[in-house]
Amino acid sequence: MKKIYIGFSAHRLEAIPFYKKAFEQADFIILEDFPNPLFNLMLSGKISLKEYIENIETTFPKFLKAQCKLLQEAYKNGKVIIQIDPYMEKLVKMYQLIENGKSPEEIKQLPEFLDIYEAEHEATGRLLDYYQAVMEDFEKAVKAVKEFAHADAKRIALRDRLRAEAIAHYLK
């Protein structure tokens, strides 16, 4: 029987011993991270941890360094390690399409981007409404922050669903 461990990380150094224990028990490690082209080079030691971390925007550099050391150890011990985040992958592709001259309306017509486009559009719109309401009165600000929180929760739920579907693909 296969076991699945799902871990939540607060990106704190105190979590590293728990990671170590989980990694030792696993054969396959899925990180819910945006795939980084340098990741496999870091795992295999072809680039240094310093170089890898310098190419990542992180607010937790000490945690990331400790996590990467554990991942390198797991990789050396034959563990399969992958990064997945389909939502962010599609969002980045959408931005690349915009940079290459596609309009938001054209992107919205592409079925593979529709859910993400709508979630981002709604959440960003509600956030802008909140910024405007803060300059007006308290009641409007409260209403606007609730609307943003609702839109953001829907966006997070979509991101979670897409990751869960991607993880399920590997379990078949």
Per-residue DSSP letters for 94-118? HHHHHHTT--HHHHHTSGGGHHHHH
Asked if the structure places residue 143 within a domain, the reply is yes
Task: Please tell me whether residues 102 and 141 are part of one structural domain.
Answer: yes
Task: Please tell me whether residues 98 and 159 are part of one structural domain.
Answer: yes
Task: Specify the pLDDT at position 33.
Answer: 87
Asked if the structure places residue 172 within a domain, the reply is no
Asked if the structure places residue 1 within a domain, the reply is no
Task: Specify the pLDDT at position 45.
Answer: 95
Estimate to the nearest angstrom the gap between the alpha carbon of 95 and the chain centroid. Answer: 16
Task: Specify the pLDDT at position 1.
Answer: 59
Task: Please tell me whether residues 79 and 18 are part of one structural domain.
Answer: yes
Task: Please tell me whether residues 111 and 62 are part of one structural domain.
Answer: no
Task: Please tell me whether residues 121 and 73 are part of one structural domain.
Answer: no
Identity of the amino acid at 20: K
Task: Specify the pLDDT at position 8.
Answer: 67
Task: Please tell me whether residues 94 and 156 are part of one structural domain.
Answer: yes
Tracing tokens 């496999």 back to the chain, one arrives at 40
Structural domain range at position 104: 87-164
C-alpha gyration radius of the chain: 19
Asked if the structure places residue 170 within a domain, the reply is no
Asked if the structure places residue 2 within a domain, the reply is no
Task: Please tell me whether residues 47 and 35 are part of one structural domain.
Answer: yes
Task: Specify the pLDDT at position 140.
Answer: 93
**Total structural domains within the chain:** 2
Task: Please tell me whether residues 121 and 160 are part of one structural domain.
Answer: yes
Asked if the structure places residue 3 within a domain, the reply is no
Task: Specify the pLDDT at position 3.
Answer: 66
Residue ending a domain, choose from 49, 83, 117 = 83
Task: Please tell me whether residues 73 and 104 are part of one structural domain.
Answer: no
Task: Please tell me whether residues 72 and 129 are part of one structural domain.
Answer: no
List, run by run, the mean pLDDT of 10-residue segments along the chain (172 residues). 68 90 90 92 96 90 94 95 94 96 94 96 96 92 96 97 90 76
